[in-house]
Structure 1
Amino acid sequence: MKRLDAILRDIRIRQALPFIRPGDRLLDIGCFDQTLLNLVSGRVRSAMGVDPLAQDEARGNISIRRGTVPGELDLAAESFDCITMLAVLEHVPDAGAVARECARLLTPGGRVVITVPKPQVDHILALLTRLRLIDGMSLEEHHGYDIEQTTPVFEQAGFRLAKRRSFELGLNCLFVFERVALASAAPVRDDPRADGKSTSASAEKITQHSGA
C-alpha cells in the first residue's frame, strides 16, 4: 500500500469512527489490512472482518474470515450491532443483495456505516494509478455505481437513512443507515460541513495507529 492509499483509508476511517459505539458487535466488510478492527478492538465487544483476500484468524476479540457478504460464510441472523463498508459498495455487483444481508445480520436499530466515492473519482484514481501515487487496487471492479441509488437500495431492505454527508472536497460520501421494521424517513441532505472532521478522541487515534 502506497502512502496516499493509507492517507485516503485513514480519512474514511475517521468518518466512520463516531458511529461505532462502545460495546458494539462490529462486522467490517472488506476489512483488507484490518486497520479499523485493530483501532476499535479495545472498545467494542467483538470485531469481525470479512475480506476475499484475508486468511482466517482470531486474536483477542478480533476474528477474520475469508469470504464475501453475502456469500458462503455462515453468519447468524441479528448477530451484529454495526456493519461498516468503507469503499466497498462500488465494487459489489448487487448492492441490493448486500443491503438485504446487512438487514438480516443486524439487530433492530443496528447501523450500517458506508463510504462511497462520487463517480468522477474513478477518473482521478485512474490518473493517480498511472502516476504511481496509489496502487489502484480493484479499480477495474467499479461497476459504474450511482451514489444516488444508495439510499433507495437500503430503504427497500428495511433501513432508514440516519446520516449523509460529503467529505474529501465533496468527492466522497458517508451514509449511515439504521435497521427498522418499516423504512420511512424524510430525505437527509448532505452535511454542509463537507469535510466534517471528527473531534472525538477515537478519531484522533487513527493518525497514531497508521503513522499518517
Structure 2
Amino acid sequence: MLTVDFTRFPLAPGDRVLDLGCGAGRHAFECYRRGAHVVALDRSREDVRTTAGWLAAMREAGEAPAAATAAAVEGDALALPFPDHTFDALIVSEIMEHVPDDKGLLAEAVRVLRPGGRIAVTVPRYGPERVCWALSDAYHEVEGGHIRIYRAHQLLARLREAGLRPYGTHHAHALHAPYWWLKCAVGVDNDTAWPVRAYHKLLVWDLMKRPVVTRAAERALDPLLGKSFVAYATKPHPAAA
C-alpha cells in the first residue's frame, strides 16, 4: 500500500533514493522496482532486518532491474550517516508525527538531498487523526506513538522553513480512516471485535484485488476522508535559493 504517488514523484533508473524511516519497507520496494539505488533506513532493528530480507528476496526473484541496488540500514533520522548531497530523492513517510525534533529531522533530510532533488513527506491528516485521538488515548499515548497532529499549512510551513519548495499535495487512504476509527472505538489492541475483523477483510480484499468499485470510491473520498496528507517539494539550487 503506497502513500506516495510516483506519478507526482518521478524516479529515473539510477536515482539515489533514501527511504527515511522505512518501517516495513513498502516505499523502498517500489523505488527498487523502478531501478533506483535505494537505502532504506530505520531506527528499528527488527524493521531493518525485515526490509533487508524482502529486498534480498526481490533481488533473487528478479523483481528489480539488474543495475538497481538496495540496502537496509539501522540509523538515526537526526544524525544521518551520509555526506551532504548524497541522494537524488527522499521519502519521509509517516514518521514526522513520531519525532519530537521534527525541524531537526527535516534539516538532516535537506542536508543529504542534492540541490534540485525531490522529497515526499506524508503525515496523518488532521481531521481523521483528531477523531482517533478523541476516541482513544491508547492510540497515541504509547512509547513511540504520535506526539502531534499537523494541519496541512503547518507541514508546508515546516518544509519552507527547511529551505524546500513545495510543488504539490494530495490526500490518500480514505478507506483506511474508518478502520482506525473502529479500532479506536473498540480498543486499539482489540482485533477480535467483529466490525474490526470485517473491515480488515475488506481492506485486504481491496489491496489484493484492486477492484474498480473500491478504487473509484477511494479516489472520490480521498479529498474528504483521506487518512494521510502528502506533500512534495524540491530543494532549490543555491543560486535559486
- Short-chain TM bin: 0.5 to 0.7
Match in the other structure for 1:157: 162
Q: Does 1:114 align with 2:121?
A: yes
1:52-72 per-position Cα deviation (integer Å, ceiling 9, x unaligned): 11346585611111122122x
Equivalent of residue 84 in structure 2, options 56, 73, 77: 77
Match in the other structure for 2:231: 175
1:17, distance to aligned residue in structure 2 (A): 5.9
1:190-211 per-position Cα deviation (integer Å, ceiling 9, x unaligned): xxxxxxxxxxxxxxxxxxxxxx
1:45, distance to aligned residue in structure 2 (A): 3.3
Identity of aligned residues (%): 21
- Runs ≥4 in structure 1, deviation > 6 angstroms? 127-130, 136-139
Match in the other structure for 1:86: 93
Equivalent of residue 67 in structure 1, options 71, 75, 79: 75
For 2:115, what is the secondary structure of its paired residue? strand
Structural mapping, 1:1-212, within 5 Å: 10-13=1-4, 15-16=5-6, 18-22=8-12, 23-54=14-45, 55=48, 59=56, 61-71=69-79, 73-125=80-132, 140-167=145-172, 168=174, 169-170=222-223, 171=226, 172-180=228-236, 181=238
Higher strand share: 1
Rounded Cα–Cα distance in structure 1 between residues aligned with 2:88 and 2:38: 10
RMSD: 3.1
Higher helix share: 2
TM-score under structure 1 length normalisation:
0.67
Rounded Cα–Cα distance in structure 1 between residues aligned with 2:100 and 2:239: 25
Rounded Cα–Cα distance in structure 2 between residues aligned with 1:165 and 1:178: 16
Q: How many residues align?
A: 170
Unaligned 5+ residue runs, structure 1? Answer: 1-9, 185-212
